Chain A
């Protein structure tokens, strides 16, 4: 290429696009990890996770617009994110306490009702984010010269959050409260006989999951700069659920990998162009069906990437000995 000057902006633009994609994958990974905590480890069939994401996003967006201008941006950002998380947790408490005594399909229906209902109530109740759905930029005013910096900042935030949540889940599952959760998931009555409070243990897990989803929603609201109720419909829940099932119930690395794969497949189909893109929904469904036939327990099942690599090494070693 002769125009060396023109090459640089294009490279930056590609960076911009890639960071955007990774941020969105990261947010989906956060949602999937928190749903996995509830559905995978906790074995509670929840279908209302998009409601918590919505509450987090709207809570943060609403408070950002309601706070007086002139406050330091970082403070507003942190406060609104925490507020979004708090609102989602409150929502989790509201639905969790009465409904977690339900099991299986009943719980699924109750949470599904919550996820859809909370969005409809709020978007009809005149607490919309003024003006329209725009979320003011609080960290700094974004324009074409510092857009990459803004994206990289959010990339850092999202990666930090994903790492934090991974560590949280890993350590929680190994803690005494986490082992209690696993026991309750196996057999509630038996766990109760061992002196574990099944409802308490379940509510705690449910709240953790909703808080993480709320935080992801708050970060999304600040990142995208606008929130619309149409982005929080049941389709979103299906996507999160797919990631969890694809990644494997109870697998952290599977979840993250699945979030990436799902996004890449969707993007990829949309980019090929022509007939392939026009039929993307059909092809996407077909890929999922095939995956479910060949890997019914998800990519790694309940195991982790590290387990898979260890097994593979062991098998190779055994093979070379023979």
Chain B
């Protein structure tokens, strides 16, 4: 009796916990569902994006908007399956009219798949994989895509006289693989040669890749991956990479990266969406200052993209007679033209619903990120 009673008690507790979730139904404004990695290996991306979104929300509310809206955040725990489950929870349980998320391309892919079948518009602030928006009219993005980033990075490397590149790839990541393939295409078309080395995300020891790269004796090392692997890789390589230049993409742009590389002496450059110290950009400087003031941290690219994505969405919502209508809102998002964001001018009125923005090259120097140059693709 006591045993069965305990089991039943546990069961009812769990059901009770589930029941508390369905309370968002009587809200009559625009419900914006946000799916971000708040725990797991990509947690700093989630945190930065969410900070950016909160800052944007505060600014919008202060400026006064006649659209009633609220943000509902769900944690995708840095895995694709959880991302899809959370996207479904937002759309089906929380009544989200639009989704924002996520960061990693593999995770955004599962969210976008669910959004398409649910008929809910979705904007990703930061997923750059080219294939994401093909064949899915419900997904838009406010960042550049990897074919652009790969091309720009290849041009950048060649303009520095680096002809032979060693490329570090994680085959299990859509971002890493797509980005590396795009780089290879552009780099080899312009006369460079590439040598691929493969790593596994989340490893504690990268010595295989490091040795493989060192044996290939390249002019430049390209790490196609996220900061949580790139950082330790550079740190562990130390003398074996003999101060060779290292390049990467927006996946390396995290405050954590600067700590992870330790005292590595290699010159490091990466392409990204924004640099807080970019010259002649008062809006960027103001944003960076307010971000530091509120969160006590240096804003990364994800913070700026998180900030911009809400402005793009609200700009589209303003042009709708009824922003809660999924089809109308999605059409409006797709018609976005010249929204001035922190990361540049954003226009989504193209078949890919991807903006054509300039990229920023950042140099890591003395444990800090320094603006290097802006490149228009």
What is the distance, in angstroms, from A187's C-beta to the closest C-beta of chain B?
31
* A123, A224, A268: the one within 8 Å of B110 (CB): A224
The verdict on A230 contacting B1 (CB below 8 Å), with A123-B172, A224-B110 known, is no
* B3, B17, B39: the one within 8 Å of A271 (CB): B17
- Is B119's CB within 8 Å of the partner chain A? yes
The verdict on A13 contacting B91 (CB below 8 Å), with A143-B119, A147-B118, A281-B39 known, is yes
- Is B85's CB within 8 Å of the partner chain A? yes
Residues on the A chain within 8 Å of B74, using CB: 270
Residues on the B chain within 8 Å of A271, using CB: 17-18, 20-21, 89
Count B-side interface residues using an 8 Å CB cutoff. 51
Determine if A134 and B22 form an interchain contact, defined as CB atoms under 8 angstroms apart: no
* B1, B85, B95, B174: the one within 8 Å of A133 (CB): B174
Determine if B85 and A264 form an interchain contact, defined as CB atoms under 8 angstroms apart: no
Q: List 19 A-B contacts (CB under 8 A).
A: A13-B91, A16-B88, A147-B117, A224-B110, A224-B113, A225-B110, A226-B110, A226-B113, A228-B81, A228-B106, A228-B174, A230-B172, A230-B201, A231-B80, A264-B18, A268-B14, A270-B75, A308-B4, A316-B1
Residues on the B chain within 8 Å of A95, using CB: none
* B26, B117, B198: the one within 8 Å of A144 (CB): B117
The verdict on A261 contacting B11 (CB below 8 Å), with A10-B95, A226-B110 known, is yes
* A134, A231, A315: the one within 8 Å of B1 (CB): A315
Determine if A10 and B25 form an interchain contact, defined as CB atoms under 8 angstroms apart: yes
Interface of A is mostly: helix
Determine if A17 and B131 form an interchain contact, defined as CB atoms under 8 angstroms apart: no
Residues on the B chain within 8 Å of A261, using CB: 10-11, 14
Residues on the B chain within 8 Å of A281, using CB: 39
Determine if B171 and A312 form an interchain contact, defined as CB atoms under 8 angstroms apart: no
Residues on the A chain within 8 Å of B18, using CB: 264, 267-268, 271
- Is B200's CB within 8 Å of the partner chain A? yes
- Is B182's CB within 8 Å of the partner chain A? no
Residues on the A chain within 8 Å of B26, using CB: 1
Q: Quick one: closest A residue to B16, CB to CB?
A: A268
What is the distance, in angstroms, from B183's C-beta to the closest C-beta of chain A?
18
Q: Quick one: closest B residue to A146, CB to CB?
A: B117
- Is A155's CB within 8 Å of the partner chain B? no
Residues on the A chain within 8 Å of B118, using CB: 16, 144, 147
Interface residues as binary, B275-293 with A (CB distance below 8 Å gives 1, 0 otherwise): 0000000000000000000
* A17, A150, A225: the one within 8 Å of B89 (CB): A17
The 5 A-B residue pairs with the shortest CB-CB distance, nearest first, are: A268-B17, A144-B119, A17-B92, A264-B14, A228-B80
Interface of B is mostly: helix
* A13, A20, A124: the one within 8 Å of B171 (CB): A124
Query: CA of A272 to CA of B173 in the docked complex: distance in angstroms?
Result: 31
Interface residues as binary, A224-265 with B (CB distance below 8 Å gives 1, 0 otherwise): 111011110000000000000000000000000100010011
Residues on the A chain within 8 Å of B273, using CB: none
What is the distance, in angstroms, from B335's C-beta to the closest C-beta of chain A?
21
Residues on the B chain within 8 Å of A269, using CB: 17
Determine if A225 and B113 form an interchain contact, defined as CB atoms under 8 angstroms apart: yes
What is the distance, in angstroms, from B86's C-beta to the closest C-beta of chain A?
8
Within 8 A of B (CB), among A107-165: 120, 123-124, 131-134, 142-144, 147, 150
Interface residues as binary, A1-37 with B (CB distance below 8 Å gives 1, 0 otherwise): 1000000001001101100100010000000000000
Query: CA of A302 to CA of B15 in the docked complex: distance in angstroms?
Result: 25
Q: Quick one: closest B residue to A126, CB to CB?
A: B171
Query: CA of A123 to CA of B174 in the docked complex: distance in angstroms?
Result: 11
Residues on the A chain within 8 Å of B198, using CB: 124
Determine if A312 and B131 form an interchain contact, defined as CB atoms under 8 angstroms apart: no
Query: CA of A1 to CA of B326 in the docked complex: distance in angstroms?
Result: 23
Residues on the B chain within 8 Å of A131, using CB: 131, 134
What is the distance, in angstroms, from B169's C-beta to the closest C-beta of chain A?
9
What is the distance, in angstroms, from B324's C-beta to the closest C-beta of chain A?
10
What is the distance, in angstroms, from B326's C-beta to the closest C-beta of chain A?
8
Residues on the A chain within 8 Å of B75, using CB: 270, 277
- Is B145's CB within 8 Å of the partner chain A? no
Determine if A120 and B200 form an interchain contact, defined as CB atoms under 8 angstroms apart: yes
Determine if A123 and B113 form an interchain contact, defined as CB atoms under 8 angstroms apart: no
Query: CA of A76 to CA of B7 in the docked complex: distance in angstroms?
Result: 42
Question: Could you list 17 further interchain pairs (A-B, Cβ under 8 angstroms) beyond the known A270-B74, A271-B18?
Answer: A14-B93, A17-B92, A123-B171, A133-B109, A134-B113, A143-B116, A147-B117, A150-B117, A224-B110, A226-B109, A228-B172, A230-B80, A231-B79, A264-B15, A269-B17, A278-B39, A312-B3
